[in-house]
Amino acid sequence: MISKYFYDENAYDYHDGGYINLEKAPGEDHPLAVPPILKPDKIENNDIYYTVTAQAGETQILPGDKTKTWGYNGSLLGPAIPFETGKTYHVTLKNELPEVTTFHWHGLNIVGPYEDGGPHAPVMPHGERKITFTVDQPAANIWLHPHPCPNTARQVWNGLAAPVIISDEHEKSLSLPSEWGVNDFPVVLQDRSFHNNQLSYTADYDVDGTLGKYALVNGTTNPYIDVSTPIIRLRFLNGSNRREWRLHFEDQHPFTQIGSDGGLLPDAVELDRIMLTCAERADILVNFSNYKAGQTVTLLTDDHTLLKFRIRSFKPQDIKLPSPLAILDHLDTDDQTPVFKTVMSGMDDQVRLDGKLFDMQRIDTRQQVNQTQIWEVSNTNDMENGMIHPFHIHGCQFQLIDRNGKAIYANEHGWKDTIGVNPNETVRIKVRFTKLGVFMYHCHILEHEDTGMMAQIEIFDPDHPIEYHLLPMDHKM
Ligand SMILES: [Cu+2]
């Protein structure tokens, strides 16, 4: 049993001068909103067609006036988008917003930079873009969010984010809870402040990451889940601009982590608390068998009530998870493996990646496709105890080696695409891209990313060089 948080407490976001403590949102408790599962436009054999539209709307979040929000195929957040390993997807991306956006598939092994949906793939207002790709990675909880440079943070704040759920045959064979909205829930963790019930990104902006004073879970304030089967699957996603979520039950009830960013862990891990930095995911099973109907079990973040579980009647149940839970395709390295070093530094508007600010027309490093490199990802910053920078790479999933030469945490043995890096820490990871393209790697505190704590890698095939048309920084964002 791990009984402490996973990171250096000195660096937690609540030490920041601009930190905003969560408060209970006004109004009653509400059942947790459950995003619908996106329906295909059509299915032709192995080919599935979807349409995803970024649009503006209004959402009842607080008592009183509705809030003007943005969402995919709806007014806030989006539907859960189901992918199956081995199938080919044809996705029409439509923009009905009054400004340029992009559609980034965070965690998907997909070619870049256009299909990946980073800043080189703008979709103009009333415009659309069509992309096609085959999903060839294991079951995982990934997500969709905008990535226009430098407006990612504001667009996410306004409501754009959607869970994307990849399933495969192996995961289906595990008989995990699978009744959507009954015992299988996406759990998108965000925080927002309101001004006369409206969002105001400008009013709440913080260069070190914008925080809100109310927790929103799938857009719901004061949410609860009615527990009608003993085991519940919670697919957590930190969809916040800045906030770290330090999750634990009020009574320290244990839970089982079965998956991380890029899929199932090689072995399930028993925990009683977990921290998620921005963009990280955790796939969790909670067994409520020992509680009685009428009881309420409360999930906290720090000491703030986040999500209540109201126990209904059910028969106790246990799940037998196989060991190993999943066979990972281990990335092999030896002393000939090339090493790439990258350094996150600074706070406020001084944040830098390798001492530089982002430039869309500059390729910062190159790596050969299907070849593994070791990346040494450092956070040098120790200003005012420093801060954790969540480091993300597009277009691939990677594997951790060590943290400052020490063992990684028990729940870091699976595929990851985002890792919290502590001040004065170097995390070594094994990185292999299987798709060609130009990809971003960056801090996932969205305001740091927008400030320019981001760089680009070209993944090349020496036999098939490709010329990319890289947009300039001042194009029509
Ligand atoms: Cu950062």
Output the 3-class SS for 274-303.
Answer: EEECCCCEEEEEEECCCCCCCCEEEEEECC
Q: Measured between alpha carbons, how far is 379 from 424 in angstroms, rounded to an integer?
A: 6
Helix (H, G, I), strand (E, B) or coil at 306: strand
Q: Rounded to the nearest whole angstrom, what is the distance from the C-alpha of residue 216 to the centroid of ligand 1?
A: 22
Q: Each residue's pLDDT tens digit in the chain (477 positions)?
A: 344 555 567 788 888 888 999 999 999 999 999 999 999 999 999 999 999 999 999 999 999 999 999 999 999 999 999 999 999 999 999 999 999 999 999 999 999 999 999 999 999 999 999 999 999 999 999 999 999 999 999 999 999 999 999 999 999 999 999 999 999 999 999 999 999 999 999 999 999 999 999 999 999 999 999 999 999 999 999 999 999 999 999 999 999 999 999 999 999 999 999 999 999 999 999 999 999 999 999 999 999 999 999 999 998 888 899 999 999 999 999 999 999 999 999 988 899 999 999 999 999 999 999 999 999 999 997 677 689 999 999 999 999 999 999 999 999 999 999 999 999 999 999 999 999 999 999 999 999 999 999 999 999 999 999 999 899 887 765
Residue 1 alpha carbon to ligand 1 centre in Å: 30
End-to-end, the C-alpha distance of the chain in Å comes to 48
For the record, the structure tokens of 132 come out as: 């096609």
Token pair 């008592």 in the structure block, residue: 63
Ligand 1: centre distance to CA 464 (Å): 35
Say what the pLDDT of residue 386 is. 84
Q: Which of 131, 51, 59, 65 is nearest to 96 (CA)?
A: 51
Q: Strand ranges (DSSP E) for 312-461?
A: 339-345, 352-353, 365-368, 372-379, 389-393, 398-403, 418-421, 425-432, 437-443, 454-460
Residue ranges and CATH numbers for the domains of the chain are: 30-169 (2.60.40.420), 175-311 (2.60.40.420), 339-460 (2.60.40.420)
Distance of CA 242 from the midpoint of ligand 1 (Å):
9
* Structure-derived torsion over alpha carbons of residues 454, 242, 261, 176, reported in degrees to the nearest 10: -160
Phi/psi of residue 299, nearest 5 degrees:
-95, 130
pLDDT, residue 393, reads 98
The CA 351 to ligand 1 mean position distance, Å, reads: 7
Diameter of the chain by CA atoms? 65
DSSP state of 170: H
What's the pTM? 0.97
**Ligand 1 centre and the CA of 411: distance in Å?**
22
**CA 371, chain centre distance (Å):** 25
Give the integer Cα–Cα distance in Å for 455 and 211.
25
Quote the ligand 1 centre to 401 CA distance (angstroms): 22
DSSP assignment of 31-65 equals EPP-PPBPPPSEEETTEEEEEEEEEEEEE--SSSS
HSE (CB half, 13 Å, CA atoms) of 210?
27
Q: What's the 454 CA to ligand 1 centre distance in angstroms?
A: 10
Distance between Cα 347 and ligand 1 center (Å): 7
Under DSSP, the state recorded for 327 is -
Return the percent helix, strand and coil in the chain, to nearest 5. 5, 40, 50
* CA 453 to ligand 1 center in whole angstroms: 7
pLDDT of residue 343: 97
Question: Would you state the pLDDT for residue 7?
Answer: 59
467 membership: H or E segment, kind and range = none
Reduce the DSSP state of residue 10 to 3 states and report it. Answer: helix
Contact 418, 278 (CB under 8 A): yes
Tokens of residue 411, six digits? 């729940």
Ligand 1 midpoint to CA 452 (Å): 10
CA 377 to ligand 1 center in whole angstroms: 13
Q: Are the CB atoms for 432 and 371 separated by under 8 Å?
A: yes
Measured CA to CA, the distance from residue 240 to residue 13 in angstroms comes to 12
Angle at Cα 13 formed by Cα 251 and Cα 232, nearest 5°? 35
Q: How far is the CA of 106 from the centre of ligand 1 (A)?
A: 17
Model pLDDT, residue 391: 98
Among 26, 23, 29, residue whose Cα is nearest residue 62: 26
How far is the C-alpha of 401 from the C-alpha of 426, rounded, in Å? Answer: 11
* Cα-to-centroid distance, 214 and ligand 1 (Å): 22
Contact between 441 and 393 under an 8 Å Cβ cutoff? The reply is yes
C-alpha of residue 209 to centroid of ligand 1, in Å: 8
Q: Cα–Cα distance between 116 and 122 in angstroms, integer?
A: 11
Q: Rounded to the nearest whole angstrom, what is the distance from the C-alpha of residue 92 to the centroid of ligand 1?
A: 32
* 3-class SS of residue 153: helix
